[in-house]
Amino acid sequence: MKLYEVFIRAKSGLNHRHVGSLHAADAQMALQNARDVYTRREEGVSIWVVEAAAISASNPEQSEEWFDPAMDKVYRYPTFYPLDKEVDNM
Protein backbone atom coordinates (compact mmCIF):
# COMPACT_ATOMS: atom_id res chain seq x y z
CA MET A 1 0.00 0.00 0.00
CA LYS A 2 1.13 3.53 -0.74
CA LEU A 3 1.20 6.50 1.61
CA TYR A 4 -1.14 9.35 0.68
CA GLU A 5 -1.28 12.80 2.25
CA VAL A 6 -4.81 14.10 2.81
CA PHE A 7 -5.99 17.70 2.35
CA ILE A 8 -9.48 18.89 3.23
CA ARG A 9 -11.44 22.03 2.40
CA ALA A 10 -13.55 22.73 5.50
CA LYS A 11 -16.06 24.83 3.56
CA SER A 12 -16.15 26.53 0.24
CA GLY A 13 -14.18 29.74 0.28
CA LEU A 14 -11.36 28.23 2.36
CA ASN A 15 -8.13 26.58 1.23
CA HIS A 16 -7.59 22.85 1.35
CA ARG A 17 -5.57 22.13 4.45
CA HIS A 18 -3.33 19.20 5.32
CA VAL A 19 -4.96 16.94 7.94
CA GLY A 20 -2.85 13.76 7.97
CA SER A 21 -2.10 10.73 5.90
CA LEU A 22 -3.30 7.20 5.20
CA HIS A 23 -2.43 4.07 3.29
CA ALA A 24 -4.27 2.96 0.16
CA ALA A 25 -3.69 0.89 -2.95
CA ASP A 26 -4.76 3.68 -5.29
CA ALA A 27 -6.14 7.22 -5.33
CA GLN A 28 -9.78 6.14 -5.40
CA MET A 29 -9.34 4.02 -2.30
CA ALA A 30 -7.39 6.83 -0.65
CA LEU A 31 -10.29 9.22 -1.23
CA GLN A 32 -12.83 6.78 0.15
CA ASN A 33 -10.71 6.06 3.23
CA ALA A 34 -10.06 9.77 3.76
CA ARG A 35 -13.80 10.36 3.79
CA ASP A 36 -14.24 7.79 6.56
CA VAL A 37 -11.18 8.70 8.60
CA TYR A 38 -11.13 12.49 8.37
CA THR A 39 -14.70 13.70 7.75
CA ARG A 40 -16.97 11.86 10.20
CA ARG A 41 -18.29 15.13 11.61
CA GLU A 42 -18.83 17.51 8.70
CA GLU A 43 -15.17 18.54 8.67
CA GLY A 44 -15.10 19.05 4.94
CA VAL A 45 -16.75 19.61 1.60
CA SER A 46 -13.82 18.56 -0.59
CA ILE A 47 -10.88 16.18 -0.29
CA TRP A 48 -7.54 16.03 -2.09
CA VAL A 49 -5.21 13.07 -1.76
CA VAL A 50 -1.62 13.18 -2.99
CA GLU A 51 0.91 10.37 -3.03
CA ALA A 52 3.41 11.32 -0.34
CA ALA A 53 6.25 10.33 -2.66
CA ALA A 54 5.14 13.00 -5.13
CA ILE A 55 5.69 15.88 -2.72
CA SER A 56 8.95 17.83 -2.83
CA ALA A 57 9.68 19.74 0.33
CA SER A 58 12.13 22.45 1.32
CA ASN A 59 14.92 21.41 3.64
CA PRO A 60 14.47 22.57 7.26
CA GLU A 61 18.25 22.78 7.61
CA GLN A 62 18.24 25.54 5.01
CA SER A 63 15.43 27.45 6.67
CA GLU A 64 17.71 30.37 7.55
CA GLU A 65 19.02 30.93 4.01
CA TRP A 66 15.57 30.50 2.56
CA PHE A 67 13.32 32.43 4.86
CA ASP A 68 15.39 34.91 6.84
CA PRO A 69 16.18 37.38 4.00
CA ALA A 70 12.55 38.46 4.13
CA MET A 71 13.21 39.82 7.62
CA ASP A 72 15.49 42.65 6.54
CA LYS A 73 13.18 43.97 3.87
CA VAL A 74 11.13 45.99 6.31
CA TYR A 75 10.16 48.42 3.54
CA ARG A 76 7.76 45.75 2.31
CA TYR A 77 5.47 46.46 5.24
CA PRO A 78 3.11 49.44 5.39
CA THR A 79 4.25 50.22 8.94
CA PHE A 80 7.66 51.20 7.50
CA TYR A 81 6.08 54.43 6.25
CA PRO A 82 5.01 56.80 9.02
CA LEU A 83 2.04 58.98 8.17
CA ASP A 84 1.32 62.48 9.40
CA LYS A 85 -1.35 62.54 12.07
CA GLU A 86 -3.67 64.55 9.84
CA VAL A 87 -3.71 61.75 7.28
CA ASP A 88 -4.02 59.08 10.00
CA ASN A 89 -5.06 55.83 8.34
CA MET A 90 -4.42 54.93 4.74
Partner 1 sequence: MYSQGLQDAKGGPEPEGLLKAFQKRIDNEEKIEPRDWMPEAYRKTLIRQMSQHAHSEIVGQLPEGNWITRAPTLKRKMILLAKVQDEAGHGLYIYSATETLGITRDEMTRQLLSGEAKYSSIFNYPTPSWADMGAIGWLVDGAAIMNQVPLCRASYGPYARSMIRICKEESFHQRQGYDIMTVLARGTAAQKKMAQDALNRTWWPALMMFGPSDKDSKHSAQSMQWKIKRFTNDDLRQKFVDATVPQAEHLGLTIPDKDLKWNEDRGHYDFGEIDWQEFMEVIKGNGPCNKQRLRARQKAHDEGEWVRKAAEVYQQKQQDAA
> Which residues, including other chains, have CB under 8 Å from residue 81's CB and lie 6 or more apart?
none
Choose, by CB under 8 A, the member of 12, 13, 15, 40 that binds partner 1. 40
CA torsion angle 70 74 77 80 (round to 10): 180
Residue 36 binds to partner 1 (criterion: CB under 8 A): yes
Q: Are 34 and 22 in contact (CB under 8 A)?
A: yes
**Segment near partner 1 (CB under 8 A), from 8-16, 55-63, 66-74, 81-89?**
55-63
Q: Are 7 and 21 in contact (CB under 8 A)?
A: no
Residue 49 binds to partner 1 (criterion: CB under 8 A): no
Site for partner 1, residues 62 to 81, rule: CB under 8 A: none
Q: Could you list the residues that contact partner 1 (CB under 8 A)?
A: 1, 3, 19-26, 29, 36-38, 40-41, 57, 59-61
